[in-house]
């Protein structure tokens, strides 16, 4: 890695994840690496070592020459990933030991890759966060979580280690409608005043102004300690409140007609609570 931050836009991240989930077959001349699991969320005691193993699979017919380094990582406001090699103040990367710095992985084979983290004695409660960057071929392609690229590139294996009693404290501080990818989307602003990252999960439903019933799922982006992050409530396919001659399928994927009231059960990684909100775009003058 160079000392310049590597940025991975959220649009490309989404494409990469789609490729990984789809498990597309690799052609004979392609570099195609899959890493599982997509991330590690570990817990450790001070002065003790926690170990973990990732599985790397070369789905190409040709050998993959791989190098391994650790890196700092952050999320941008729009959910992109930024990796940097330089140590941050208070970084926990000095606690990390990785199995090897480079290896050759033959085609159509897998490798179990080990790493360990040892928080020093007397370490105060903290959440250790770092990435293990796996590079092969052309190193100019930016990294992402658990992505199988059908080209040369890099993958960042994201690791969280909870040291001591740390936990997220999430609070919804605002609800809005914003345009994401050209589509008006309900969102909530989530503040994390805790000491560890958190994610929202939910069973939400609502009916829009056109009478279409929909289920909504919050984005799975992590909310890191000390930050406020916009979390999209993504609509699933809807069910039409039928009128004469209409079918449920005819409008299920049409844009939401605002306002829409969304309600249900939210989970903030530590607690469950009821949620209800009315989402309506601001009137443009």
Backbone angles phi, psi at 261, to 5 degrees: -100, 125
Kindly state the average pLDDT of the residues 173-182.
94
Of 163, 179, 194, which one is at a domain's C-terminal end? Answer: 163
The parent domain of residue 43 ranges over 6-163
Judge whether 88 lies within some domain. Answer: yes
Pair 157, 180 in one domain? no
Total domain count, the chain: 2
| The residue to which tokens 């103040």 are assigned | 89
For residue 226, pLDDT beyond 60: yes
Pair 41, 128 in one domain? yes
CA 218 to CA 232: how far, in whole Å?
Answer: 6
Pair 176, 159 in one domain? no
Pair 146, 13 in one domain? yes
More confident residue, 230 or 137: 230
Pair 128, 258 in one domain? no
CATH number at residue 256: 2.60.40
Pair 90, 37 in one domain? yes
CB-based contact 2:130 (threshold 8 Å): no
Pair 50, 182 in one domain? no
More confident residue, 262 or 18: 262
CATH number at residue 130: 2.60.40.10
Of 112, 130, 163, which one is at a domain's C-terminal end? Answer: 163
What is the value of pTM for the model shown? 0.81
Instruction: Convert the pLDDT of each residue in 30-79 to its tens digit.
Output: 658 999 998 999 999 999 999 999 999 999 999 999 999 999 999 998 88
Of 146, 163, 180, which one is at a domain's C-terminal end? Answer: 163
Pair 141, 211 in one domain? no
Judge whether 1 lies within some domain. Answer: no
Pair 59, 144 in one domain? yes
In terms of DSSP bridges, do strands 153-163 and 39-44 run parallel, antiparallel, or are they unpaired?
parallel
Kindly state the average pLDDT of the residues 264-270.
90
> Which of 110-124, 129-143, 234-248 holds the top average pLDDT?
110-124
Pair 90, 176 in one domain? no
Judge whether 225 lies within some domain. Answer: yes
Instruction: Convert the pLDDT of each residue in 81-132 to its tens digit.
Output: 899 999 999 999 999 999 999 999 999 999 999 999 999 999 999 999 999 9
Structure tokens at 98: 């990785």
Judge whether 266 lies within some domain. Answer: yes
Can you spell out the DSSP letters for 67-108?
EEEEEEEEE-TTS-EEEESSPPTT-SGGGEEES-SEEEE-TT
Q: How many C-beta neighbours within 10 Å does residue 246 have?
A: 12
Pair 31, 46 in one domain? yes
Give the model's pLDDT for residue 271: 86
| The residue to which tokens 């890191």 are assigned | 224
- Residues 63-89 as b/e (b if ≥16 CB within 10 A, e otherwise) read ebebebbbbbbebeeebbbbbbbeeee
CA 80 to CA 72: how far, in whole Å?
Answer: 14
Pair 75, 32 in one domain? yes
Q: What is the mean pLDDT of the chain?
A: 83
């Amino acid at each position: 890695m160079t000392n310049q931050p590597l940025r991975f836009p959220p649009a490309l991240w989404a494409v990469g994840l789609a490729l990984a989930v789809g498990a597309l077959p690799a052609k004979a001349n392609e570099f195609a690496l899959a890493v599982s699991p997509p991330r590690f969320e570990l817990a450790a005691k001070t002065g003790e070592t926690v170990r973990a193993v990732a599985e790397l699979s070369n789905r190409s017919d040709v050998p993959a020459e791989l190098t391994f380094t650790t890196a700092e990582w952050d999320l941008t406001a729009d959910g992109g990933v930024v990796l940097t090699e330089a140590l941050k103040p208070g970084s926990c990367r000095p606690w990390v030991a990785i199995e090897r710095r480079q290896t050759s992985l033959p085609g159509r084979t897998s490798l179990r890759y080990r790493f360990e983290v040892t928080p020093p004695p007397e370490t105060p409660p903290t959440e250790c966060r770092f990435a293990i960057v796996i590079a092969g071929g052309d190193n100019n392609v930016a990294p992402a979580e658990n992505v199988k690229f059908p080209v040369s590139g890099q993958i960042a294996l994201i690791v969280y280690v909870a040291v001591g009693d740390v936990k997220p404290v999430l609070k919804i501080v605002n609800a809005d409608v914003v345009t994401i990818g050209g589509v008006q989307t309900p969102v909530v602003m989530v503040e994390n005043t805790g000491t560890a990252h958190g994610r929202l999960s939910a069973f939400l439903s609502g009916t829009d102004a056109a009478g279409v019933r929909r289920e909504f799922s919050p984005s799975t982006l992590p909310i890191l300690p000390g930050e406020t992050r916009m979390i999209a409530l993504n609509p699933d396919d809807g069910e039409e409140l039928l009128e004469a001659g209409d079918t449920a399928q005819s409008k299920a994927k049409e844009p939401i007609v605002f306002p829409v009231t969304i309600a249900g059960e939210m989970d903030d990684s530590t607690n469950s609570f009821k949620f209800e909100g009315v989402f309506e775009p601001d009137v443009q003058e």
